Structure 1
């Protein structure tokens, strides 16, 4: 086992390895033409560079095509310099089974800083779609209006205590398209949004990715998140998608594992932020 609790490749079950192989081949280096989520997307060597509408950069890949040693260091430096010249923060998304094994050290040497790791969990959509019982007085609703998206923003800010002013714009663009279809679901008690979650249906793949799931503290432990997961899994299965995938925090991973999703890898965001420049003399 690794120190993060994710099994090494040799310790993964055959099912988990099959999930991971599908995830690697179908999602990791995928480019979505015309996606509303991005300002730009370009392939450079083995990686895909994206700039989100929020202005943040992202570097993803299926693998690094055998790059190693000085050639890899030079390639990493070129990506750093590209985003530094643009003045943009960028995330290099590292997976625990990426090669070479010393890639994290090479990223650190180039100035990328590791942040909190997450776990990639995958499950069969059909197997997760069984209806879940909601607490009395709580209902699920698929939403599209700007007013409802602002209510989701308020929920996220209440749960996490930080600004989510960007979220309604992002979800509104994704709901309208083009790009992968998106569905946003709320759990509501009277006029209060107590949980919000969304799903992205990755066209041309077998995957639907699940996001959000934040629940007000007073409503946790009552099956509400489970109900939002089942609802989204049912939508996935009904639309012909085989897998659901989640990037989970350390807090969420045990919940998702109990619900039947399998951990297949850890991901660590290695982030490079542009240097802040102040006025002369200070």
Structure 2
């Protein structure tokens, strides 16, 4: 048990040190600081709030700062013409009163996800696929749009071109982002991204989902293994993922550790 606690603490420290603020600002068109908060703008009139921590002080002092910061953040993004704003929180942060404060200002919490972190080699396995299912990395526009439509369906979201447009921009930028898909009978049934984090040991597993009729057959696990192999080839020894309850057990069985939780709070301005 002591070794497990130490392992989790070390992985959480790596997550905090390497994956917050600067790495989250990759691709941002603008960046402003309000105290410890990093206010980021991205294409598509999207805003994002993150931080490494909220600083020292008593709970009362931190609460008083947040009472000041939240309206300043909203005012800043409204003045900048941002329409869709996300405030990203983590379960292990000390942020007294933040939940109630965000709700009072019109934010709505999305579903809580598990932050999974671990060694890429644990997932880089050679796994068999079901008969008729194949994996490949895609980058052509038609494939990217088809994958994003499939992912919207898998997540139960309305089909939108916005995700595809943003992903096409990232793939064209040469930042290392990869999109992997699994296909059966010529149709995409599972997809997910690999996003190497510059100047870090990490690559992120993002956007992974499988259509309901194809779940439980090992396809997502094989797609994750392919991405883990690619991460190692890129020199990234650690993987991280904000996981739903569909993907968390798969990553956990492979050896990744649930180091904390994350809850995004969203608002339309």
Instruction: Provide TM-score, normalisation by structure 2.
Output: 0.89
* 1:176 positional shift: 1.6
Paired residues of 2:34 and 2:73 also in contact (CA < 8 A)? no
Matches of 2:188 and 2:257 in 1, distance apart? Answer: 29
Report SS of the residue matched to 2:68. Answer: helix
Structure 2 CA distance for partners of 1:13 and 1:139, relative to 1, 3 Å: same
Report SS of the residue matched to 1:270. Answer: strand
Q: Which residue of 2 aligns with 1:150?
A: 145
Structure 2 CA distance for partners of 1:12 and 1:52, relative to 1, 3 Å: farther
Paired residues of 2:47 and 2:82 also in contact (CA < 8 A)? no
Q: Point out 4+ residue stretches in structure 1 off by more than 4 angstroms.
A: 31-34
User: For 1:73-113, what per-residue CA distance to the aligned partner results, in whole angstroms no more than 9, with x for missing partners?
Assistant: 11222112212333523111111111234332333344433
User: For 1:15-36, what per-residue CA distance to the aligned partner results, in whole angstroms no more than 9, with x for missing partners?
Assistant: 111111111111111157772x
Q: 1:47 aligns with which of 37, 46, 61?
A: 37
1:266 aligns with 2:261: yes
* 1:267 positional shift: 0.9
Q: Which residue of 2 aligns with 1:100?
A: 95
Report SS of the residue matched to 2:22. Answer: coil
Q: Which residue of 2 aligns with 1:207?
A: 202
Report SS of the residue matched to 2:29. Answer: strand
User: Which stretch of the first structure deviates more once superposed, 158-167 or 143-152?
Assistant: 158-167
Q: Which residue of 1 aligns with 2:78?
A: 84
Matches of 1:172 and 1:133 in 2, distance apart? Answer: 30
1:141 aligns with 2:158: no
Q: Which structure is higher in helix share? A: 2
Q: Which residue of 1 aligns with 2:168?
A: 172
| RMSD of aligned residue pairs (Cα, Å) | 2.2
Matches of 1:257 and 1:198 in 2, distance apart? Answer: 19
Paired residues of 1:31 and 1:48 also in contact (CA < 8 A)? no
Q: Which residue of 2 aligns with 1:63?
A: 53
Q: Which residue of 2 aligns with 1:7?
A: none
Paired residues of 1:120 and 1:246 also in contact (CA < 8 A)? yes
* 1:62 positional shift: 0.7
In structure 2, the gaps of 5 or more residues are none
Q: Which residue of 2 aligns with 1:223?
A: 218
